[in-house]
Structure 1
């Protein structure tokens, strides 16, 4: 199993709207792809960055499912984030493998 992590730093002034949008729209859209097993949303409490830092995490069964998500869905979903929060956030991703 793999953990797909998206870390987002969002401006303080947009953080509440971003959080609501994530919970009501974006995360459900990602999960509706049917490629992820579960998800969680975390707030980084000791972030050294300005703004608010969140981690959106999605568990995926295998690399094939992750690549299918990347190839079929990721671009459109990322574009929607950029449209709604242009110049208000920065995100980076990481893909991790479960060991134990």
Structure 2
């Protein structure tokens, strides 16, 4: 099993709008790709960053599913994300493999 984690730092004035958008569009659109078996949306408590920091975590059965998502689905999702929140967020992603 693999975990695809995206950490997103959203400007304070935009974070409530972003959270609503993430729940209504971002998470469902990502799950509709068929590449992940579950998702989780978290807020980082005591983040050292400015703004509000969230983590979106998606679980995949194998690394190939994450690669498929990144190739076939993520580019359009990212374009929509940038169009809706231009210059109001910064994000980075990591891929982790479950050990235990």
Instruction: Output the TM-score relative to the length of structure 1.
Output: 0.98
In structure 2, the residue matched to 1:40 is 40
Unpaired segments ≥5 residues, structure 1 = none
Cα offset, 1:46, TM superposition: 1.3
CA distance in 1, matches of 2:93, 2:64: 18
Kindly report structure 1 stretches of 4+ aligned residues shifted beyond 3 Å.
none
CA distance in 1, matches of 2:48, 2:98: 27
In angstroms, what is the RMSD of aligned CA positions? 0.5
CA distance in 1, matches of 2:25, 2:75: 16
Cα offset, 1:71, TM superposition: 1.0
Describe how 1:59-78 pairs up with structure 2 within 5 A: 59-78=59-78
CA distance in 2, matches of 1:4, 1:27: 13
Number of corresponding residues = 100
CA distance in 2, matches of 1:67, 1:6: 14
